[in-house]
Amino acid sequence: MKFFTDRVKFTVSNNECTAENKTEIPLDILEDPEVFDNPAPQTVEFDTEESITAETNVAKEVPFDLPVEKENDSIDIKIEAAKNEEKADGKLLVDTDHDLITPYDPKRDLENYHYPTLDLLKKYDNDGKPYIDMVEQTANKNRIVEVLRNFGVEISSIKATVGPTITLYEITPAQGVRISKIRNLEDDIALSLSALGIRIIAPIPGKGTIGIEVPNAKPNIVSMESILNSKKFQETTMELPCAIGKTITNEVFMFDLAKIPHLLVAGATGQGKSVGLNAIITSLLYKKHPAELKIVLIDPKKVEFSIYEPIANHFLAKVPDDDAEPIITDVTKVVRTLNSLCKEMDTRYDLLKAAGARNIKEYNKKFISRQLNPQNGHRFMPYIVVIIDEFGDLIMTAGKEIELPIARIAQLARAVGIHMVIATQRPTTTIITGNIKANFPGRVAFKVSAMIDSKTILDRPGANQLIGRGDLLFLNGNEPVRVQCAFVDTPEVERVNLFIAGQQGYVTPFELPEPDVESGEAIGGASDVDMQHLDPMFEDAARLIVLNQSGSTSLIQRKFSIGYNRAGRLMDQLEKAGVVGAAMGSKPREVLIQDEVSLNNLLSSIRK
């Protein structure tokens, strides 16, 4: 067997290598290191006859007692796996004292906290067991088959799956039947069954069948107790598990808000929207510790979320204001709260960057294992869930001041653990704009009155065909899922909140940082301020600013117990008068007057 290269030819014989036609290597090649560092590709040519001869010679002269292959002989081969290197079982090669460090426990401040118990929730008859009326099922089946045959549609089989409020009839059409033909018979099937809420799924994803959803004559109530008592919820590993009801196959339906990561809820008045929000909040309260979760509740209607005020020191978050209520109802405070959340988001991103973490889960893991020093500003980050009950009212009153911070939070806040759930009873394009829809991939649609509203929420019809009373469509992908929302009544929510409020909590609600952007007239600057009509507190505010040498709007607000808009107008007047400089984002304004004497001279000139 011969090997040819561009320099040397090797012949293999008797396990020895001899060089033939040896040529001297030019001196310039020997002196050039790049030739040996980057050699040209080498080729190996095999002569079939010589190779066979060489192999035979080697086999004959080999000094070992190895079996020689003979023609037409079959030799069994014994195969053994190479031995793997012994593993270190995850032990560190360095820092042997690492395991001796006690991990940080974020629940230490409330180590005796007990999660709410299931006996606080109400049970209903036949809870979790759908009522099956064979007479009703047989009659519906016969009517469906009859209508299809009347229009020339033959089917080979039909199957019924009974859910809490909806029965799914799966039909297998005969060969050659067009799916569109069955879809066009939706109104005729509804007429024959004398039922509202008929919906045709053609085809059912993952199956070769067509689904016809028909409401049950006697719907069952899906209790919150049956949802939270399920094995699926009890053993879940989701970060923010939200159990909202059961599907038409009677399975508990859950989603992880941390992965969605923002949810848009819409539906007409009285169709179960507020109950759905209560179900989301209740499932979070049953699964998360106060140290792990903070909730920002924004309620323009002022009555929907007031029931959660007792748990303010445990779970709620608010802006740092002496007179700020834990449930945010004032529109101006809503703007300030959203801007405060934007600042919290930016601060968290700075901490993630300093820690070398990509998301809140990695960051908290490093902090718990004491890899991050609190003296450098690091802290344990709880998840923050922002829930807005009536988004449409905020858009009408505040407009862009509301939409812009919401869009910014929705775009960026996922990685730092800030998630939003906004609800509206007016799902129009003026309320749910394209910017909002693009950043809220999770959609929950309760019954709406018109198909155009369904298309606004889900980008497709369907929500207008629901039967109401908690019947919803959940969309977080290609196809919506029909779910019967769990019913959680007001007394149940009160019992859960009182159970939590009866335990030791934090001294105050979780405080968000001071907002970066000032709202109302403060955004416009001081160019259009009327100095002829100064605020009665103008001089007092000027003395406060000069005395503290801090041009902060929140300082004026706290000291004089006034609203944020009035404090912003005062700051604009002070800027126009030359007491403070222009706004510098999140930083306090520069104070231009350094002493009280100069201030008195300035005030005297203004009085004249």
Which residues contact residue 456 at a Cβ distance below 8 angstroms, ignoring those fewer than 6 apart? 266, 427, 428, 429, 432
> How many other C-beta atoms are found inside a 10 Å radius of the C-beta of residue 368?
14
Q: Say which amino acid occupies 204.
A: I
Q: Of 198-202, 246-250, 513-517, which range is least confident?
A: 513-517
Smallest Cα–Cα separation from 414: which of 261, 201, 232, 219? 261
485 vs 557, residue with greater confidence: 485
pLDDT at 519 over 50: no
pLDDT at 256 over 50: yes
Distance (Å, rounded) from C-alpha 311 to C-alpha 290?
10
From the DSSP assignment, how many helices (H) and strands (E) are in the chain? Answer: 21, 19
Q: Where are the domains of the chain?
A: 134-215, 224-511, 537-607
Decide: helix, strand or coil at residue 203. Answer: coil
Query: Do the beta carbons of residue 444 and residue 264 sit within 8 Å?
Result: yes
Which residues contact residue 60 at a Cβ distance below 8 angstroms, ignoring those fewer than 6 apart? 68
Q: What is the pLDDT of residue 253?
A: 96
Query: 9 is written with which tokens?
Result: 């030819």
Instruction: Compute the mean pLDDT over every residue in the chain, rounded to the nearest whole number.
Output: 82
pLDDT at 269 over 50: yes
Distance (Å, rounded) from C-alpha 428 to C-alpha 414?
26
Smallest Cα–Cα separation from 382: which of 314, 461, 471? 314
Strand blocks (E) in 404-470: 418-424, 442-446
384 vs 213, residue with greater confidence: 384
Query: What would the mean pLDDT of 268-273 be, rounded to a whole number?
Result: 91
Query: What would the mean pLDDT of 411-439 be, rounded to a whole number?
Result: 91
Per-residue pLDDT reduced to its tens digit, 294-329: 999 999 988 899 999 999 999 999 987 756 688 998
Q: What is the pLDDT of residue 307?
A: 95
Q: Of 5-19, 89-103, 503-517, which range is least confident?
A: 5-19
Query: 153 is written with which tokens?
Result: 């549609």
Calculate helix-pair angle for 538-548, 564-577, nearest 10 degrees: 80
Per-residue pLDDT reduced to its tens digit, 36-89: 445 444 444 444 444 434 444 444 444 444 454 555 556 667 676 666 666 655
Smallest Cα–Cα separation from 400: which of 515, 520, 516, 300? 520
**What torsion, rounded to 10 degrees, do the Cα atoms 568, 569, 571, 576 define?**
150
Q: What is the pLDDT of residue 199?
A: 86
Query: Do the beta carbons of residue 448 and residue 467 sit within 8 Å?
Result: no
- Residue 13, φ and ψ in degrees, nearest 5: -160, 130
Question: What does the angle CA 350 – CA 331 – CA 281 come to, to the nearest 5 degrees?
Answer: 65
Distance (Å, rounded) from C-alpha 24 to C-alpha 8?
10
pLDDT at 356 over 70: yes
Beta 471-475 vs 481-485: how paired, if at all? antiparallel
Distance (Å, rounded) from C-alpha 288 to C-alpha 290?
7
Q: What is the pLDDT of residue 71?
A: 53
Which range has highest mean pLDDT (6-10, 67-71, 142-146)? 142-146
Distance (Å, rounded) from C-alpha 485 to C-alpha 279?
8
Q: Does domain 134-215 have CATH number 3.30.980.40?
A: yes
Decide: helix, strand or coil at residue 193. Answer: helix
Query: 401 is written with which tokens?
Result: 């001041």
pLDDT at 342 over 90: yes
pLDDT at 112 over 50: yes
Query: In the structure, what pLDDT confidence band is assigned to residue 201 with cuts at 50, 70 and 90?
Result: confident
Q: Does domain 224-511 have CATH number 3.40.50.300?
A: yes
**What torsion, rounded to 10 degrees, do the Cα atoms 119, 327, 343, 407 define?**
90
Topology, domain 537-607 = Arc Repressor Mutant, subunit A (1.10.10)
Query: 8 is written with which tokens?
Result: 């040397």
- Residue 584, φ and ψ in degrees, nearest 5: -125, 50
Which range has highest mean pLDDT (34-48, 105-119, 548-562, 586-600)? 105-119
Distance (Å, rounded) from C-alpha 449 to C-alpha 465?
9
| Segments in 219-374 forming alpha helices (H) | 224-228, 231-234, 273-287, 312-315, 331-355, 360-368
In the block, tokens 């893991």 appear at 365
Give the predicted TM-score (pTM) of the model.
0.70
Per-residue pLDDT reduced to its tens digit, 280-298: 999 999 999 999 999 999 9
Strand partners, 252: 246
Q: What is the pLDDT of residue 147?
A: 87
In the block, tokens 């924004």 appear at 298
- Residue 46, φ and ψ in degrees, nearest 5: -115, 130
Q: What is the pLDDT of residue 35?
A: 46
In the block, tokens 């090997």 appear at 3
Query: In the structure, what pLDDT confidence band is assigned to residue 203 with cuts at 50, 70 and 90?
Result: confident
Q: Supply the DSSP string of 102-124, one letter for each residue.
A: PPP-TTGGGTT--PPPGGGSPP-
Smallest Cα–Cα separation from 461: which of 439, 477, 445? 445
Q: What is the pLDDT of residue 83?
A: 65
Query: What would the mean pLDDT of 517-522 be, rounded to a whole number?
Result: 42
Question: What does the angle CA 512 – CA 516 – CA 521 come to, to the nearest 5 degrees?
Answer: 115
Which residues contact residue 546 at a Cβ distance below 8 angstroms, ignoring those fewer than 6 apart? 579, 591, 593, 594, 595, 596, 599
